[in-house]
Amino acid sequence: MLIIRPIRASDYEALYSIAVESGHGFTSLPVNEELLRSKIARAEASFTKQVDKPFDEGYLMVLEDTTTEEVVGTCGIEAAVGMVDAFYHYRLGTEVYHSQQIAVRNEVETLTLCHDYTGAAEVCTLFLKSAYRKGNNGRMLSRSRFLLLAQHPQRFGETVIAEMRGVSDEHGESPFYEWLQQHFLGIDFVEADYLSGLGKKAFMAEMMPRNPVYVCMLPKKAQKVIGEVHKNTKPALRLLQSEGFRFRNYVDIFDGGPTVECRLSDIKSVKRSRLLTVQIGKIHHADHQYIISNTKLADYRATSARLSVSADHDNVVLSPELASGLLVEEGQQIRVLEL
């Protein structure tokens, strides 16, 4: 059985392996022991913390194959970004230049450094090992986060965002970043991305252009990738778009990848998920696949399975094995979402 659960200290080696496999551009998991151990400790604290309103909590989870006891994936949610460390984006805008005297009117796209998403929740750190990228595993891992958002909305910002990986080559070099390196930062993309992942962001405020940047003055290859996603990220973007996430003209300051957003209460899976009461027994005539989670936090568990769910009843039968994997007992509630 594949079970999603909160990460714990004993998962460090597995998380390090995932960080290595994820490669360049996956800034939320730099290959750095101190940072990864810190992320795990922060997640452990967040899952047990009493929260009145979201601040700087981070909910990092892993996907475990209970047959082999191997951690094969990860996913996470940031409760409210930018509350401690600055959270930068470029906002795409338009400036209009018009002269009646010479009868000329021009509209020019601009990039302006901003912190507009401060306080938003972020779905992030989604990675599945290659051997498990089959069936509905990736979809289950990604959408399981929406069940957590649906069950505990008070712990997260009202707007939910996702930063999509921008275009880069096989060496991790970004065509968007080249102009920034040449004229402002002076360090390569991989190093800048790595420092950002470590939380060492002071250099951004010190070295990034302070005034709006005219897109038309960038190299053509940089212009071309603004708002475009890495080829490996397109399936993840399509999934989020199907949930109601939309691009609102915000892009990553290093690779130009798009950030998409949706109000938490408007996310399709949040709205469509249901609370059902558990009965334990033999499952009959289960025609549909569901993502299933318990309603707990520190002991959060999620998986997918075939269930028989009726629109007319609020009860659902789970097998003893499935109930045990989800840490639920007869009479308790689970949250389900048709997959």
Length of the chain: 339
Do 16 and 33 meet the contact criterion of CB atoms below 8 Å apart?
yes
Q: Is 98 among the residues known to form the active site?
A: no
State the virtual CA torsion across 272, 276, 281, 282 in degrees, nearest 10: -20
Q: What's the one-letter identity of residue 297?
A: L
| Cβ atoms within 10 Å, residue 308 | 14
Do 76 and 59 meet the contact criterion of CB atoms below 8 Å apart?
yes
Of the listed 24, 171, 230, 288, which one is catalytic?
230
Q: For residue 305, which of 268, 278, 265 has the smallest C-alpha distance?
A: 278
How far apart CA 62 and CA 216 sit, in angstroms, is: 43
Structure tokens at 317: 């039968």
Q: For residue 88, which of 190, 163, 187, 179 has the smallest C-alpha distance?
A: 163
Report the sign of the C-alpha dihedral through residues 108, 111, 115, 121, in that order: positive
Backbone phi and psi for residue 87, each to the nearest 5 degrees, phi listed first: -120, 100
How far apart CA 87 and CA 56 sit, in angstroms, is: 12
E-strand stretches of the chain:
2-6, 58-65, 70-78, 89-99, 104-114, 121-128, 159-163, 213-214, 246-251, 258-263, 274-280, 288-294, 302-307, 315-318, 333-338
Backbone phi and psi for residue 134, each to the nearest 5 degrees, phi listed first: -155, 160
| Cβ atoms within 10 Å, residue 52 | 7
**Which amino acids are annotated catalytic?**
230
